[in-house]
Amino acid sequence: MSQRVIKGVDFFCSGGGMTNGMRSAGINVIAGIDYDPECKATYESNNIGSEFILADIFTLKEEDLEKQLSLKRNDNNLLFIGCSPCQFWSIIRTDKRKSEQSKDLLGEFSRFVKYFNPGFVVVENVPGIATRKDESGLTAFANDLTNRGYKVKFKVVNLNEYGVPQTRKRFSLVASRVTTEEVFPSPSKAAKPTVKDFLGKQNGFPKITAGHRDESDFNHSVAKLSDKNLERLIGTPTNGGNAIWWRTDKKLGRAKYTGDGFKDSYSRMCWDKAAPTITTKFFSISNGRFAHPEEHRAISIREGATLQTFPKNYIFHATSMQSAARMIGNAVPPEYARRIGKAIINSK
């Protein structure tokens, strides 16, 4: 049986991680939609031929998208992808007031699914969307798909089992109304990838120091460290060491350390293990286990992108290190997206 020829639209596309992975699988992603104008240059320059549409899904009309992209309703070969920002449903402690609006994004995405009735639908999000599936709208969304004839499969997966060198757990849903069976990527039979498979000199990352600025497109740039944080990191054992040793130190620690805060903050990654989830703050050692396994610094912007499985020639057009990290941390790892795309193309 020949492979399916699929075209896709990537809602909440950000810098294009999902688009890039889907394209590498052979899916023609005709457009990505996002409300952040800073994502446009990164998205379009790395995904030539995929149009970036600057729009807020809360105000975007189905008919306008239909006309702009010349889409057809009930197209068996059309794929809609919805990987909405997910801070509200994240287990990471954030100010939920700032992300209040994001809790309704699945419902807005559902408007377009109902209107166009595409052959395939993909949703990727934090596990919290399934833990609180009634509140998040997942129950209503999945039930609606089923009632309209889609075969729906969803579960929380560890992306380390799908070629990504992170202990990144994500909710994934794949729905199809044109196949004879459920569609979902299978976990890899190969060994789970680790940090040493992606970082280090052997993988093209020269040794650098905290505060290094790489002005090339490779962007092997790294955040500065205060004198105290540098001293803390120098004393932290290499290859997975943690920050416990200095927490109660009179000079380097806190006067009254109570054990609160992120337990892995200021700690090092381990060469022989998967990295932690790469967040939007991976460039800062105070925000997680984001210190290099042996060099006295946080991981660089390019190292974070590589752990997210972005190609090394993927260029991030950003006005700051924080902006680049936000696009990288919010992305669906392209390798995982590729595997979802392959499952769709090869479905029967």
The token pair that represents 80 in the structure block: 């809609």
Per cent of the chain over pLDDT 70 is 92
Classify residue 103: in a domain, yes or no: yes
List of residues 6+ apart from 59 with CB closer than 8 A: none
Could you give the C-alpha distances from 78 to 10, 120, 152, in angstroms and in order? 11, 6, 16
Distance CA 150, CA 143 (A): 9
Classify residue 308: in a domain, yes or no: no
Show the domain range for 160: 7-188+333-345
Classify residue 209: in a domain, yes or no: no
Q: 10 Å Cβ neighbour count for 77?
A: 16
Distance CA 301, CA 316 (A): 9
pLDDT band for position 301 (cuts 50, 70, 90)? very high
The total domain count for the chain is 1
Classify residue 299: in a domain, yes or no: no
pLDDT given for residue 86 in this prediction: 57
Q: Give this prediction's pTM.
A: 0.93
Classify residue 250: in a domain, yes or no: no
- pLDDT per residue over 52-76, tens digit each? 999 999 999 999 999 999 999 999 9
- pLDDT per residue over 230-266, tens digit each? 999 999 999 999 988 787 777 787 644 444 445 788 9
Helices (DSSP H) in the chain: which residue ranges? 17-25, 39-46, 62-69, 105-116, 128-131, 133-136, 138-147, 227-234, 244-247, 301-307, 321-330, 334-345
Classify residue 153: in a domain, yes or no: yes
Higher pLDDT, 318 or 84: 318
DSSP secondary structure of 288-347: SS-B-SSSSSBPPHHHHHHHTT--TT-----SSHHHHHHHHHHSPPHHHHHHHHHHHHT-
pLDDT given for residue 94 in this prediction: 45
User: Among 39, 83, 86, 270, which one carries the catalytic annotation?
Assistant: 86
pLDDT band for position 91 (cuts 50, 70, 90)? very low
Distance CA 76, CA 225 (A): 53
**Dihedral (Cα; 16, 21, 27, 31), 10-degree rounding:** 0
Lowest mean pLDDT among 41-50, 62-71, 250-259, 292-301: 250-259
Residue for token pair 């909405």: 84
Is 39 a known active-site residue? Answer: no
Q: What's the CATH code of the domain at 164?
A: 3.40.50.150
List of residues 6+ apart from 263 with CB closer than 8 A: none
Q: Are strands 78-82 and 120-125 parallel, antiparallel or unpaired?
A: parallel
Classify residue 198: in a domain, yes or no: no
- pLDDT per residue over 331-342, tens digit each? 999 999 999 999
Residue 188 DSSP code? P
Classify residue 74: in a domain, yes or no: yes
- pLDDT per residue over 161-218, tens digit each? 999 999 999 999 999 999 999 999 999 999 999 999 999 999 999 999 999 999 999 9
Per cent of the chain over pLDDT 90 is 82
- pLDDT per residue over 1-34, tens digit each? 578 999 999 999 999 999 999 999 999 999 999 9
Q: 10 Å Cβ neighbour count for 27?
A: 27
